[in-house]
Amino acid sequence: FRKIELYEMVWNLREGLKDCLIAAAPYGGPIALLKESQRRERSASARPLLEIYSAAGVAMASFPWKSGVVVHIGWTVSDDLLCIQEDGTVLIYDMFGNFRRHFSMGNEVLQNQVIEAKVFHSAYGTGVAIVTGAFRFTLAANIDDLKLRRLPEVPGLQVAPSCWAVLMQDRQTKVVLASGKDLYMLDNTACTLVTPPGIDPQVSSYFQMAASFSYKYLALFTDTGHVWMGTSNLKEKLSEFDTKVRSPPKQMVWCRRPKSQQPSVVLMWDRLLLVAGKCRESIKYPSHCESFLVPELDGVRIVSRSFHEFLHEVPGACEEIFKIASMAPGALLLEAHKEYEKESQKADEYLREIKEQNLLPEAVRQCVEAAGFEHEPETQKILLRASSFGKCFLSNFPPELFVGMCLDLRVLNAVRDYSVGIPLTYSQQYKQMTVQVLIDRLVFRRLYPLAIEICRYLKIPEFQGVSRVLKHWACFKVQQKEDPDDVIACAINQKLGDTAGISYSEIAARAYECGRTELAIKLLEFEPRSGEQVPLLLKMKRSQLALSKAIESGDTDLVYMVVTYLKSEMNRGDFFMTLRNQPVALSLYRQFCKHQEQNTLKDLFNQDDDHQELGNFYVRASYGEGSVKARMAALQNAVDEFNKAKNEFSAKATEEQMKLLRWQCRFQEEFDKPYLDCSLHETVRSLLEDGKHKQAEQLYKDFHIPDKRFWWLKISALAEKEDWEELEKFSKSKKSPIGYLPFVEICVKHHNKYEAKKYVSKVTLEQKVKAHLALGDLEQAVEAAIERRSESDLNLVLSRCIPTTDRALLDKINHARAGVLKK
């Protein structure tokens, strides 16, 4: 075992550590002191002082304690201070003494009061266990997810247990307690009497008990002055040690490196510090002043008025190297390097010795490893230099080990510095805690620049490193109430810029929590991701702003989200007004209504006086109506709207449609045939096909159907009916506005060449070729084409000729073409 001095404490304690409630957070965390004087003199004027120091004794906070009587103080895993009061209230402060929140350990406590409490850590977080005046235990395994558990009663327990400890076994939190010569194990459901194996039967009382850092082992100090060490399930005894001291120790803690075979416990009395281990011998350190033991993962920190020391088992690597006359490869390498520095040839001898045994890689490794265990930078340097020296003689020794160690040690040395005061051991604490957590701790201590330095130095990806630190910095910054909003917003933006992974919305959310809505809004301006901006703005009831941000983003789903929110929050009038000012949102909402709420759509158009759309709306609606009457009514509405919209065409067209509907109804009655839902054109055709020429004529006039179309309509209807007589009559009724080619074509279409021929003579000269072609009369077509001297007509005929059969014609055409072209 060895004791290393970590710090000479810079604190200035008037009364030392006497009569103080002391708590120090593990992993080199801060130390909290609360003067215990409160119990004796309950005068309001002498309020106890709560002081918080860093591990180096640098004052971090100090304030008079104003609340109730504190039974116990302890630190959480995230460096928050828990103060457990007599009445069961637990107050949480951060390490700067800022009040965070509080919770209660249950109502029962109110009457019975807490007589003792313990704070413990587990994989679930930080827990609190209390024992009440009624000798009942209550615990909460994780204070961040508070679930109080009242443990079963211990039968026959009339006095407070002499000592107790919290254990974690199989993911369950248990309590071991001693009352007289009995030991009880309490879990959620039962209370079991237990006996540690191999315990001296003469033991009548247990003074002190301690669980190891990992809850794997338990140590008991008996009234016979023996320390019993064993596994925490009390199934196995590891060793027993007779301290020869009968008085109860002030503190007893485990001091054991994980995986070490040596179970050892440190006991502290007023003037004595004793390390008890497996062997018969013990190590005794006389102590001069009041101290306090802080168990760590791999050792014990000893805090006293003037010093802060670390006691731990000497690690294997260090022992190998520094043991006197050690012949371990590491020791030899160190020696070799020393000689080399002295420019002595002995260096070569040492090296040779190592190399002959093929142990050089091992030697290098030992030196690197040992460096990790050393506290003094000088020693670290010597060891690292030695290993680097050794590395020169190795061709393919992986560099990661050495480089990694150098990086990590620099970080550790930096955080060990007085101003920071986080003493960590490399191989156990630092590795166990990870860089991430270390950075978090620095952030908690508001040591942002150092945290960023470390992130950059270790090349931690921005997202997890620098950005996170900056975010915390910004979150802290927004809480500084004295600075005006825009100064803060500006400062934050300047520092953060567009750093990757910075979420301005998170910072803004923090600002909002602090009641600084304006600042939050300013900060949100910097947030590029609208998806993040919008929900927070809604939460802050800045719905208008949220809406414009959502629109800006172009993400329509986001717009819909805000719109739905507005719809539920606002009255209809305001809601519509808001939409009116945001055309994008309005059209999206219209889309929504079109599919979901037809009537709202109408209201929307109404509010905007959009008569055109209202007209269209009624038109659409008319098609949904089941009766002609209702449809007419809807169409009449449409006409009115179209008129208001000054859309004469639509109004007139709609009126005509109403007129048509009336006609169709009449026909439907008269001829018992469906006409509704036919277009005017189809209605007329239907009438013509049924020989209702008079009615067709009526519609033709009434609706001003253009002559041309009516003629087309009539001839195709007549041809369809094969009413050739009527067709001929019609052709002679007056001069055809569409010419007579359509007559020819329509007849041919219905396979009546005979009728078709009747009209050929009437076809104009220009169309004659086509007429002949339609009849399939190539020769006549050629004649006509030649007569017209038109090249395009000739070509047209040419394309219809079949080269093999129409030789003579082809010649004729070619000849004529040549003639035309010549001209």
Partner 1 sequence: MAAHLSYGRVNLNILREAARKELREFLDKCAGSKAIVWDEYLTGPFGLIAQYSLLKEHEVEKMFTLKAGRLPAADVKNIIFFVRPRLELMDIIAENVMGEDKQRLQRDFHILFVPRRSLLCEQRLKEQGVLGSFINMDEYTLDLIPYDGDLLSMESESAFRECYLENDQTSLYHTAKGLMTLQALYGTIPQIFGKGECARHVANMMLRMKREFAGSQNQILPVFDSLLLLDRNVDLLTPLATQLTYEGLIDEMYSITNGYVKLPPEKFTQKKQGEGGKDLPTEPKKLQLNSAEELYAEIRDKNFNAVGSVLSKKAKIISAAFEERHNAKTVGEIKQFVSQLPHMQAARSSLANHTSIAELIKDITTSESFFDKLTVEQEFMTGVDTDKVNGYIEDCIAQQNPLTKILRLVCMQSVCNNGLKQKVLDYYKREILQTYGYEHIITLSNLEKAGLLKPQTSTRNNYPTIRKTLKLWMEDINEQNPNDISYVYSGYAPLSVRLAQLLVRPGWRSIEEVLKMLPGPHFEERQQLPSGLHKKRQQGENRTTLVFFLGGVTYAEVAALRFLSQMEDGGTEYIIATTKLINGSGWINSLMDKLEAPPF
- The residue ranges that bind partner 1 (CB under 8 A) are 462, 467, 498-502, 528-529, 552-558, 560-561, 564, 583-584, 587-588, 590-592, 595-596, 612, 616, 619-620, 623-628, 631, 649-650, 653-654, 656-657, 660, 676-682, 703, 705-706, 708-709, 712-713, 716, 738
Nearest distance from residue 396's CB to partner 1, in Å?
31
Nearest distance from residue 714's CB to partner 1, in Å?
10
Nearest distance from residue 462's CB to partner 1, in Å?
7
Neighbours of 722 (CB within 10 A): 14
The answer to whether 124 and 109 have CB atoms below 8 angstroms apart is no
Query: What's the rounded Cα separation, in Å, for the pair 164 and 211?
Result: 10
Amino acid at 324: I
Query: What's the rounded Cα separation, in Å, for the pair 78 and 64?
Result: 23
The answer to whether 552 and 579 have CB atoms below 8 angstroms apart is no
Give the pair of three-digit tokens for residue 711.
């003629």
Nearest distance from residue 496's CB to partner 1, in Å?
10
The answer to whether 61 and 97 have CB atoms below 8 angstroms apart is yes
Query: What's the rounded Cα separation, in Å, for the pair 115 and 165?
Result: 14
Kindly tell me the sign of the dihedral angle through the C-alpha atoms of 478, 482, 487, 491: negative
Query: What's the rounded Cα separation, in Å, for the pair 171 and 149?
Result: 15
CB of 649 or CB of 754, closer to partner 1: 649
CB of 374 or CB of 527, closer to partner 1: 527
CB of 142 or CB of 698, closer to partner 1: 698
Nearest distance from residue 212's CB to partner 1, in Å?
41
Q: What does DSSP assign to residue 426? A: I
Query: What's the rounded Cα separation, in Å, for the pair 804 and 801?
Result: 9
Nearest distance from residue 793's CB to partner 1, in Å?
13
CB of 21 or CB of 774, closer to partner 1: 774
The answer to whether 148 and 106 have CB atoms below 8 angstroms apart is yes
Nearest distance from residue 715's CB to partner 1, in Å?
10
CB of 266 or CB of 561, closer to partner 1: 561
Nearest distance from residue 570's CB to partner 1, in Å?
18
CB of 404 or CB of 583, closer to partner 1: 583
CB of 90 or CB of 634, closer to partner 1: 634
The answer to whether 383 and 334 have CB atoms below 8 angstroms apart is yes
CB of 54 or CB of 654, closer to partner 1: 654
Nearest distance from residue 286's CB to partner 1, in Å?
58
CB of 595 or CB of 823, closer to partner 1: 595
How many Cα atoms occupy the beta-carbon half-sphere of 504 within 13 Å? 28
Burial of 259 (0-12, 13-18, 19+ CB in 10 A): exposed
Nearest distance from residue 651's CB to partner 1, in Å?
11
Buried (b) or exposed (e) across 144-175, using 16+ Cβ within 10 A?
eeeebeebeebeebeeebbbbbbbbeeeebbb
Nearest distance from residue 767's CB to partner 1, in Å?
13
Q: Is beta strand 217-222 parallel, antiparallel or unpaired with respect to 226-231? A: antiparallel
Nearest distance from residue 782's CB to partner 1, in Å?
18
Query: What's the rounded Cα separation, in Å, for the pair 612 and 640?
Result: 10
Neighbours of 822 (CB within 10 A): 6
Query: What's the rounded Cα separation, in Å, for the pair 720 and 742?
Result: 14
Radius of gyration of the chain (CA): 49
Site of tokens 């509405």: 637
Query: What's the rounded Cα separation, in Å, for the pair 521 and 519?
Result: 5
Beta-ladder partners of 168: 173
CB of 44 or CB of 500, closer to partner 1: 500
Nearest distance from residue 590's CB to partner 1, in Å?
8
CB of 124 or CB of 592, closer to partner 1: 592
CB of 258 or CB of 528, closer to partner 1: 528
CB of 186 or CB of 523, closer to partner 1: 523
Start-end of H helices in 266-328:
316-322
Give residues with Cβ within 8 angstroms of 375, minimum separation 6: 4, 6, 310, 416
CB of 247 or CB of 679, closer to partner 1: 679
* Orientation angle between helical segments 466-477 and 448-457, nearest 10 degrees: 170
Nearest distance from residue 420's CB to partner 1, in Å?
28
Query: What's the rounded Cα separation, in Å, for the pair 464 and 436?
Result: 8
